[in-house]
A and B are shown apart, each in its own frame.
Chain A
Amino acid sequence: MDVIMAKSAEKYDGFPQSKSDMLHLLMDEYGEEIKRLVFTYTKNWAQSEDIAQEIFLSVYKNLDSFREQSNIKTWIYRIAINKCKDYVRSWHYKRTVITDIIFSNETEDSPETVYLYSEQKQMVSKLILQLPIKYREVIVLYYFKDLTMEEASAALEMNVNTLKSRLRRAKNILESKLRSKGGL
Chain B
Amino acid sequence: MDRLLNDMKQEFENSISADPVFSLRERCQIIKLIEMEETRTPRPSSWFPKLLSGTVLASLFLFTLFIMMDYTGVKENTQSSHNKKQTNIEAPPHHISENEINEKVAYIESKMKLGLSETEVHRLFGKNFVILDNSDSENGSVKRIGYNLLVNDPSLEKKMDSSIIDEENLLKRNIGVQLFIGFTKEGKVQWATSNYAYDGEVYMTSWDKNGMATKKLHEAAEKKDEIIEDYASEQYKTFSDKEKEVYEAFRKSLDENLLRDLDPISIAKFYAQANIAQEFDVVYALYTDRKNYIHMSKEEYEKLPSSHRFTPENAFNAFKNIEKGKFISHEDNITAHIEYMADPDAEAPSGFTMVKDEDGIWNISFLPLQ
Contacts and interface: CB of A to CB of B under 8 A. Distances in A.
Interface stretch (A73-81, A83-91, A103-111, A154-162): A103-111
B307 A114 contact: no
Contacts of B346: 120
Contact of A103 (B17, B31, B112, B209): B209
A99 interface: yes
A32 B11 CA distance: 16
A40 B22 CA distance: 14
In the complex, which of the residues B16, B213, B309 has the most CB atoms of chain A within 10 Å of its own CB atom? B16
A165 to B, nearest CB: 15
A139 B305 CA distance: 34
A49 B212 contact: yes
Contact of A125 (B15, B20, B211): B15
Contacts of A110: 305, 307-308
B310 interface: yes
Contacts of B207: 46
B79 to A, nearest CB: 52
Contacts of A24: 27
A36 B308 contact: no
A46 B113 contact: yes
A171 interface: yes
A77 B19 CA distance: 22
Interface residues of A, number: 53
Nearest to A115: B318
A40 B4 CA distance: 19
A55 B211 CA distance: 20
17 contacts: A23-B30, A23-B31, A32-B22, A40-B16, A45-B213, A53-B26, A57-B37, A103-B115, A103-B209, A113-B314, A119-B317, A119-B343, A121-B7, A124-B5, A125-B11, A144-B12, A171-B1
Given A99-B115, A122-B11, 14 more contacts: A23-B34, A35-B22, A52-B22, A53-B33, A99-B113, A111-B308, A112-B314, A115-B310, A121-B12, A124-B4, A124-B8, A125-B11, A140-B12, A144-B13
Interface of A: 20, 23-24, 27, 31-32, 34-36, 39-40, 43-46, 48-50, 52-53, 56-57, 60-61, 99, 102-104, 106-107, 110-116, 119-122, 124-126, 128-129, 139-140, 143-144, 171, 174-175
